[in-house]
Structure 1
Amino acid sequence: MTTTEPTTGEPAPAAGEVIGSLSPSRAGDFMTCPLLYRFRVIDKLPEKPSPAMVRGTLVHSVLEHLYDLPAGERTVGAAQGMLGPEWERLLKEEPELAGLFPGDAAGEAEQAAWLKQAARQLERYFKMEDPRHLEPAEREVFVETVLESGLKLRGFIDRLDVAPTGEVRIVDYKTGSAPGAGFEARALFQMKFYALVMWRVRGAVPRLLQLMYLGDGEVLRYAPDEADLRATERKVLALWEAIRRAMDTGDWRPRRNRLCDWCDHKARCPVWGGTPPPLPERPVVRPSPADLESAARERDDL
């Protein structure tokens, strides 16, 4: 396996030493825009949750708890009936989410339309597969492994299905629409990242990766092999080397892309005439409890 050495002339990490951590979402941030990665991981700048992001969290929560019901009770009506209670639970855990909608009649109408869209996404899920005939092995499972380089890979998998023969399927729900031609590889990177972690932890390559797009009912399936996962590991290590170089040089170069219009940090981005805050003296990327908690809510739907 290829190992990674620091770019500053430091000695290679001792066996078992963790030099940093990376999740699929944060890796995706760096690939999208290194400055976005810096704002989120180094500066830890707050971001305002969007209705689409929170709806994704809500729908994921319903689909997680749907499988707590007996198989025969997993119906469209039961799932849609869980939206209200799950939304109330989220509001109780994060009261600031109440600010998503104005506290007037217009806000109530907007929230109702928002919940109706979530209900349509759940209905679409039932057209994609029948949960009455499924018994997931694990749901919202946290996985992590440390590579020989000392880099820790971590993340949350929406669902793991295990066949009687032991073959594993990794399932991820997306509340957005399927990517167009030319963007599938980017979507599959997250799934290959999870498959790499599972392979390193359990010693077997997952049989199937399945992305379910509740926005349009499309399903993207991919069967990886060892060569795929070794290539994914090389890509992850190369990304980490690029991140380390940016940390050493302070060069977090912004990259204009189609997501700029939705970025909370547009006003402080040099591409748009802004000025980033001063860098911390020597940032160290380590997984903190807050990082792990937020990873559970990371949704790459937009």
Structure 2
Amino acid sequence: MTRARDELILSHATESPSGRARRVSPFVIEALDLPTAGFRGEAFPSTTHGSGPLERIAAAEPAPGPPEAERLPIDGPLTLSHSAIDDYLTCPLRYKYRQVVRVPTTPHHSMVYGAALHQAVQEFHRSQARGKPLTEEELIGVFEKAWSNEGFISREHEMARLEAGRGALRRFRETQLQPGAVVPAWVEREFAFALGGNRVRGRFDRVDIVPLAEPSAEVTGAVREVADAPSVLRADVIEPMLELLGPEEVTITDYKTSDVRDPAIARQRARDSLQLQIYAMAYEAMTGRLPDAVQLHFLDTGLVGRADVEPARLEKARSRIATAASGIRARDYTPRPSALSCMYCPFRDICPSSVAT
């Protein structure tokens, strides 16, 4: 039964070759997850109206198809997140499985590892803000408390990843406590803004706001260039909620657990990151100005890939978001299989279009 991909058919004969009435097996009722109380394997037809096996099975049958409303284009604003947008742009059918049907997925070791590291980093920054940074033992304790032993290939694999996480956090803490290290202004701060008639929501991992006595010509020029960009690059509504303190340099950081060891690759990842561009637009919607830079901090290696906020990248990001929103609104879930995306797709075992080997 667990090997069925598209459908499972259970059949039953009402009579034996000799003409004797046959009883439906109680295992059929159990397989369909129906109540078995009072069931004694009645022969067909049922002698009790509405309580026989056929009636019980029929009562549990799903509706013949989705309601008409679910087949029509979505009307009204969408609420989008980076993960939903990324799912749709990668493969619309993956988006449907995860965001619409909500097919359950088994935990993957990379997600367990990343979530535990993020929790530890978040708690460290919060302790920094209180003026009492976590000790190494406390930091490792937060990491281990957030750990789950699900999804790993073996016990040895789990222990290796656990030790890798401890090492990454020790190096991270040492770097953050160096003289002159910046204490983040925002940690895990939620945001939402309107873009193209839709609502984009998310959460900043980290935002650094560093006051400048006198802004450098380089920073001033970069800010002026972005500020002078066409309004098409902006969020629909810019509602500054925070008063700028004066000349300041703003950097938004997203923490990653990918094993990136080449600085050039780290920088390219930052330049290509749709998530970082969404952060830049969100920050502008909240404050009235764009950040000066966005960056990816790879915790395993300590590498930081940094990118300036540029109008061309913002325009490209807005276009990609609009493409995803248009397809989602039209309920277009046409699969877009590829060897790479299918290989890492959590739904590859049930997807009829998967090309994963």
Greater RCO between the two (CA within 8 Å, min separation 6)?
1
Whichever residue aligns with residue 192 of structure 1, its letter is Q
TM-score, reference length from structure 1: 0.69
Residue 118 of structure 2: aligned partner: 60
Q: Is 1:266 matched up with 2:348?
A: yes
Find the residue that maps to 2:335 and give its secondary structure: coil
TM-score, reference length from structure 2: 0.60
Residue 98 of structure 2: aligned partner: 40
Structure 2 counterpart of 1:139, from 187, 191, 194? 187
Query: 1:98-140 CA deviation, whole Å, 9 max, x = no partner?
Result: 54469xxx73x55432220101222343576546632211101
Query: 1:236-261 CA deviation, whole Å, 9 max, x = no partner?
Result: 1122113323x0xx542132242423
Q: Offset at 1:161?
A: 0.8
**Aligned pairs (5 A) from 1:141-220:** 141-147=189-195, 149-164=196-211, 165-178=247-260, 180=265, 184=269, 187-220=272-305
Find the residue that maps to 1:176 and give its secondary structure: coil
Please say which of residues 180-189 and 39-48 is displaced more in the overlay. Answer: 180-189
CA distance in structure 1 between the partners assigned to 2:140 and 2:275 by the alignment: 27
Q: Could you say which structure has the larger radius of gyration?
A: 2
Label 1:257 to 1:145 Cα distance change in 2 as closer, same or farther (>3 A).
farther
For the aligned residue pairs, the C-alpha RMSD in angstroms reads 3.2
Q: Is 1:224 matched up with 2:281?
A: no
Q: Offset at 1:74?
A: 4.2
CA distance in structure 2 between the partners assigned to 1:65 and 1:216 by the alignment: 20
Percent identical residues: 26
Is the 1:62–1:83 contact (alpha carbons within 8 Å) kept by the matching residues of 2? yes
Q: Offset at 1:213?
A: 1.2
Whichever residue aligns with residue 22 of structure 1, its letter is L
More helix by share: 1
Query: 1:137-181 CA deviation, whole Å, 9 max, x = no partner?
Result: 11011111012x321111111101111133321011101123849
CA distance in structure 2 between the partners assigned to 1:145 and 1:182 by the alignment: 27
Label 1:171 to 1:80 Cα distance change in 2 as closer, same or farther (>3 A).
farther
Q: Is 1:252 matched up with 2:334?
A: yes
Label 1:31 to 1:183 Cα distance change in 2 as closer, same or farther (>3 A).
farther
CA distance in structure 1 between the partners assigned to 2:249 and 2:267 by the alignment: 29
Q: Is 1:27 matched up with 2:75?
A: no
Q: Give unmatched runs, 5+ long, in structure 1.
A: 1-7, 92-96, 275-302
Label 1:22 to 1:207 Cα distance change in 2 as closer, same or farther (>3 A).
same
